[in-house]
Amino acid sequence: MTRLNARIPEGPVASKWTAYKSASRLVNPNNKRKLDIIVVGTGLAGASAAASLGELGYRVKVFCYQDSPRRAHSIAAQGGINAAKNYPNDGDSAYRLFYDTIKGGDYRAREANVYRLAEVSNQIIDLCVAQGVPFAREYGGLLANRSFGGAQVSRTFYARGQTGQQLLLGAYSALSRQIALGNVTLFNRRDVLDTVLVEGRARGIITRNLVTGEIERHAAHAVVLASGGYGNVFFLSTNAMGSNVTPAWSAYKKGAMFANPSFTQIHPTCIPVHGDTQSKLTLMSESLRNDGRIWVPKKVKDVEKLRNQSIKPADIPEEDRDYYLERRYPAFGNLVPRDVASRAAKERCDAGFGVGRTGVAVFLDFADAIKRKGHDTIDALYGNLFQMYEQIVAENPYETPMMIYPAVHYTMGGLWVDYELMTTIQGLFAIGECNFSDHGANRLGASALMQGLADGYFVLPYTIGNYLSTEIHTPRFDTSSSEFTIAAQAVTDRLQQIKNCGGKESVDHYHRRLGKIMWEYCGMARNDAGLTEALYQLTELRHEYSRGVRIPGGLDEYNPELEKACRVADFIELGELMVRDAQQRRESCGGHFREEFQTSEGEALRNDDKFAFVAAWEYKGREVSANLHREELQFNEIKLSQRSYK
Amino acid sequence: MKFTLKIWRQENAKAKGEMISYDVAGISPDSSFFEMLDTLNQNLVMTGGDPVAFDHDCREGICGTCSLYINGRPHGPVKGVTTCQLHMRSFTDGDTIHIEPWRAKAFPVVRDLIVDRSAFDKIIQAGGYVSVNTGGVPDANTIPVPREKSEAAMDAAACIGCGACVAACSNASAMLFIGAKISHLALLPQGEVEAAKRVQKMVASLDELGFGNCSNTYACEAECPKGISVSNIARMNRQFIGAKLFAEKEKIVRDSL
């Protein structure tokens, strides 16, 4: 257990970051030019980090699989970004944002990191405004705020329903400026397939040029992974089609520990699955729950009539509707946190009250809100979302209730990092959704954008300097060294092996099967027997996959099936680790719900005595179980309590 | 539903391409256009064929990766949506659908339906930013912005950089793309400081990158999936002329000193 040291600075939580910054070592400007940094990923975390490091004078190489850095999936975030500005004068503060984040994460995040996140949140807003991000404004010209995800203060800044897009374009523009200045070099359409270690330190990566198929070697004094989350392990998720765990997984296999892999967030308001050929899921902003009422029929015969279309939702009288969130949680009603709302929807559908053709959906009804507030007000608030829904489902939400169902949306787990955002490999950093650090077992709305930008703009540029200050005498690396040659050869061998396995099924065939196993046994509700079954099925799947997949085309050309094949191979292995993690955590917390551990009312039951720790897994080999390391969580500022939304 | 697809196939940038015909059947009307192409590709993989390469990522209309020219229109027949949000119910059972890549000198074909749009990144690198560094900026509320201006800036900033405007234009002009970025920044006080320099640098990059000129056909606006208005081109033109005059005036002042 000695290997895990979070290196949290001494002192009271509110002054730790200041103390750290004052004591950390610096690199002088002349030396910065001699130091190379690799950044993998160009989402909010990667783009902001690459831009900021370029501005400081380091030589940065940035990589993305997309054709342009502007397309990273942060762009799809809708709702907003939190900050403790307290502009509305409603009593917000860094401490409150810190408190809410720890509590929302169900007490499974590290206090020191979360406090720092809350502390730098205000600087993010200042910087984004200076970059020209067009946040929503009041008539007086100052910034507008809204309350989000049931928060008691209005601390969310937003740009219509496209906050992620606007923040990412801000970071992308800063990055573009550094590219033009020559401080950052961009490598687009690249898959990062391995991390290279020299004498135990991260010194580079192996990439595949997706257009030419060339295997390339890149060296640097430090490597930063900002490769996002792994929600696509479920096949269907709100992630982009290309989102993958491969860079993080390659680091895991080289010795970076992977923390809390089973902590995934299932978002309650997504558009339900339409059928077998579905390729991805679309999120509807959580803000809809501010005015929409969620219900299913009380009577099974109404469910049947809806399914054979002999009645419409509006034909069901008020007394025959079950507004189950309002019934179960009178205090918070439809605004309970994401994990609670998701599980409640599953419970009703599993009990046979689900609506829609598939029976796997619930209603989100705006009829009352339209009556109360008027058509125009609802249109102003949600017009673009209603349009999007109609475009996808071909039903008008003004006339008939929306249908929604939970979908995988975000992964709180990720590479274990210390206070400096460094993994258990020296010189390898992980930022944004790629790391595990700030959201505990459940992420609050509008906190992902905050964390990505906090890490990239305001945390990593300081902490990486502290590491690199010891590297100024290290000359630039030669990529013809044996370490790079061995790593590049291993990547080539692996690709060849996948290509030549001579199977008959497509990659998607296996990916869908993987998704089904994960969703069934390691999704919204988990239990010991199911997890054991999942582990068995995943081992089978892994073996079948290694000899059953068919890849057309060659290695040295544009080959999307080959790209997918590498990603899915890693997802299958990750799935096994997620299941193991879910199995060892014999408690329910946040997004992790173990059916054996619930209150008599069906609510999550934590076990703080035994499980107030971060589970960090160390890779031991393909056929050997990973080793579990525990980082005990200390709560000095906040008293642990049961979340209650009744 | 079933369809006959006529798809542009081209092995790489240098190869000669051609239209190839494929049949797909058993498509749900609720399928997206890409799910229909997924089905085609699955069939091709299973029968030893070569799947069709196309660009796609978020599949929710915001990343701007997708780029198909469908039956002669960028992003297909429905106004205001990207290809990834197009559903097969917008077509008739038995239709023949022509699918081609963006056609523009500045966007060379990479493979099949995929083109290289890095020219758009280069335009932004030429000046599509406010020159501020991380840190050392004033409190956000010390820069008030009239709500109307902020809303207009947001209208322009909604561009997803897909390139439909270029594909739709008979001159392959990038005026709507660049006009949107210049407007977004020029409408805000933060961007005003270097507005004159920005417009000159960005416009200069257009010629270098091989984009054509604007001849006011408004095809770009008609095909833009995000409804970006051509008024942004007019604003850019005003900015450009203003910047030219400003530069000349500056020169006269300098010369007289």
- Note which residues in 521-580 of chain A have CB less than 8 A from chain B: 550, 552-553, 557-558, 560-561
The answer for B64, left when phi > 0, alpha when psi is -120 to 50, beta otherwise, is left
**pLDDT of res. A221:** 98
Check if the beta carbon of residue A191 is closer than 8 Å to that of residue A566.
yes
Give the integer Cα–Cα distance in Å for B237 and B246: 14
- Summarised one tens digit per residue, pLDDT across range A83-101 is 999 999 999 999 999 999 9
Which residues of A fall within a CB distance of 8 Å from B146? 137, 141
A596: CB partners within 8 A, 6+ apart: A527, A528, A586
Beta bridge partners of A218: A205
Q: How many CA atoms lie within 13 A of B154 on its CB side?
A: 21
Which residues of A fall within a CB distance of 8 Å from B42? 506, 508
- E-strand ranges in A503-576 read none
Confidence of residue A449 (pLDDT cuts 50, 70, 90): very high
Task: Please determine, for residue A1, whether its predicted confidence score (pLDDT) is greater than 50.
Answer: no
Which residues of B fall within a CB distance of 8 Å from A557? 11-12, 111
A620 to A97, A307, B98, B216: CA distances (angstroms): 38, 50, 52, 64
Which residues of A fall within a CB distance of 8 Å from B34? 279
- Summarised one tens digit per residue, pLDDT across range A358-377 is 899 999 999 999 999 999 99
Which residues of A fall within a CB distance of 8 Å from B48? 552
H or E element: which one contains A128? Answer: helix A111-131
Q: Minimal Cα–Cα distance from A137 to chain B, Å?
A: 6
**Two structure tokens written together for A559:** 């080959």
- Note which residues in 10-49 of chain B have CB less than 8 A from chain A: 11-12, 27-28, 30-32, 34-35, 38-39, 42, 44-46, 48-49
Q: Are strands A36-40 and A59-63 parallel, antiparallel or unpaired?
A: parallel
Q: Decide if B68 touches A, using CB distance below 8 A.
A: no
Nearest CB to A68; choose among B120, B135, B146? B120
Check if the beta carbon of residue B161 is closer than 8 Å to that of residue A162.
no
Q: Which residue of B has its CA nearest to A125?
A: B140
- Summarised one tens digit per residue, pLDDT across range A156-195 is 999 998 999 999 999 999 999 999 999 999 999 999 999 9
A68 to A43, A364, A451, B115, B210: CA distances (angstroms): 11, 36, 22, 12, 19
Give the integer Cα–Cα distance in Å for A636 and A639: 8
**pLDDT of res. B249:** 80
Radius of gyration of chain B (CA): 21
Q: Which residue of A has its CA nearest to B78?
A: A391
Inspect the interface and report whether the beta carbons of A131 and B129 lie closer than 8 Å: yes
Q: Minimal Cα–Cα distance from B257 to chain A, Å?
A: 32
Beta bridge partners of A404: A362
Give the integer Cα–Cα distance in Å for A428 and A225: 7
- The percent of residues above 90 in pLDDT, for chain A, comes to 89
Q: Decide if A277 touches B, using CB distance below 8 A.
A: yes
- Give the mean model confidence (pLDDT) for residues A458-485: 96
Burial A420-451 (b: 16+ CB within 10 A, else e): bbbbbbbbbbbbbbbbbbbbbbbbbbbbbbbb
Which residues of A fall within a CB distance of 8 Å from B52? none
What ipTM goes with this model? 0.97
**DSSP codes, A30-92:** HHHTT-EEEEE--SHHHHHHHHHHHHHT-EEEEE-SSSSGGGSGGGG--S-EE----TT-SS-
Confidence of residue A347 (pLDDT cuts 50, 70, 90): very high
Check if the beta carbon of residue A554 is closer than 8 Å to that of residue A214.
no
Give the integer Cα–Cα distance in Å for A516 and A494: 26
Beta bridge partners of A264: A411
Check if the beta carbon of residue A181 is closer than 8 Å to that of residue A54.
yes
Angle B81-B85-B90 from CA coordinates, rounded to 5°:
85
Beta bridge partners of A196: A204
Nearest CB to B118; choose among A188, A238, A241? A188
Inspect the interface and report whether the beta carbons of B121 and A68 lie closer than 8 Å: yes
Amino acid at A356: G
**pLDDT of res. A431:** 98
Nearest CB to B134; choose among A127, A238, A277? A127
Widest pairwise Cα distance in chain A: 77
The answer for A374, left when phi > 0, alpha when psi is -120 to 50, beta otherwise, is left
HEC-encoded secondary structure of A215-247: EEEEECCEEEECCCCCHHHHCCCCCCCCCCCHH
- Note which residues in 83-112 of chain A have CB less than 8 A from chain B: 85, 87
**Two structure tokens written together for A78:** 């809708």
Task: Please determine, for residue A644, whether its predicted confidence score (pLDDT) is greater than 80.
Answer: no
A317: CB partners within 8 A, 6+ apart: none
A601: CB partners within 8 A, 6+ apart: none
Give the integer Cα–Cα distance in Å for A575 and A565: 15
Q: How many CA atoms lie within 13 A of A19 on its CB side?
A: 11
Nearest CB to A137; choose among B64, B150, B161? B150
Would you give the DSSP letter of residue A293?
E
- Tracing tokens 């709302």 back to the chain, one arrives at A341
B59: CB partners within 8 A, 6+ apart: A240, A241, A279, A280, A282, B32, B34, B66, B84
Which residues of A fall within a CB distance of 8 Å from B125? 176-177, 179-180
Check if the beta carbon of residue B222 is closer than 8 Å to that of residue B168.
yes
Q: Minimal Cα–Cα distance from A268 to chain B, Å?
A: 17
Inspect the interface and report whether the beta carbons of B51 and A561 lie closer than 8 Å: yes
- Give the mean model confidence (pLDDT) for residues A455-460: 98
**pLDDT of res. B205:** 96
Confidence of residue A500 (pLDDT cuts 50, 70, 90): very high
- Note which residues in 235-264 of chain A have CB less than 8 A from chain B: 238, 240-242
Which residues of B fall within a CB distance of 8 Å from A561? 45, 51
Which residues of B fall within a CB distance of 8 Å from A275? 28, 30-31
Inspect the interface and report whether the beta carbons of B59 and A280 lie closer than 8 Å: yes
Task: Please determine, for residue A2, whether its predicted confidence score (pLDDT) is greater than 60.
Answer: no
Which residues of B fall within a CB distance of 8 Å from A508? 38, 42
**pLDDT of res. A382:** 87
- Summarised one tens digit per residue, pLDDT across range B58-72 is 999 999 999 999 999
Q: Which of A249-263, B172-186, B235-249 has the lowest mean pLDDT?
A: B235-249
Q: Which residue of A has its CA nearest to B43?
A: A506
3-state DSSP assignment of residue A143: strand
Confidence of residue B57 (pLDDT cuts 50, 70, 90): very high
- Note which residues in 129-168 of chain B have CB less than 8 A from chain A: 129-135, 137-141, 143-147, 150-151, 153-154, 157-158, 160-161
A639: CB partners within 8 A, 6+ apart: none
- Summarised one tens digit per residue, pLDDT across range B192-221 is 999 999 999 999 999 899 999 999 999 999
**DSSP codes, B179-229:** HHHHHHHHTSHHHHTTHHHHHHHHHHHHHHHT-B---S--HHHHH-TT---
Give just the sign of the alpha carbon dihedral A523, A528, A530, A534: positive
Inspect the interface and report whether the beta carbons of A173 and B55 lie closer than 8 Å: no
B contact test, residue of A55, A131, A460 with most B CBs within 10 A: A131
- Give the mean model confidence (pLDDT) for residues A249-269: 97
Q: Decide if A384 touches B, using CB distance below 8 A.
A: no
Check if the beta carbon of residue A58 is closer than 8 Å to that of residue A37.
yes
Q: Which residue of A has its CA nearest to B156?
A: A134
Confidence of residue A388 (pLDDT cuts 50, 70, 90): confident
**pLDDT of res. A623:** 85
- Summarised one tens digit per residue, pLDDT across range A528-547 is 999 999 999 999 999 999 99
- Summarised one tens digit per residue, pLDDT across range A53-83 is 999 999 999 999 999 999 999 999 988 999 9
Q: Decide if A282 touches B, using CB distance below 8 A.
A: yes
Task: Please determine, for residue A231, whether its predicted confidence score (pLDDT) is greater than 50.
Answer: yes
Inspect the interface and report whether the beta carbons of B35 and A458 lie closer than 8 Å: no
Number of residues written out for chain A: 646
Inspect the interface and report whether the beta carbons of A552 and B117 lie closer than 8 Å: no
3-state DSSP assignment of residue A507: helix
| Active centre residues of A (catalytic) | 338
H-state helical runs in chain B: 33-46, 118-125, 147-157, 164-168, 175-186, 189-192, 195-209, 219-223, 231-256
Number of residues written out for chain B: 257
Backbone angles phi and psi of A570, in degrees to 5 = -70, -40
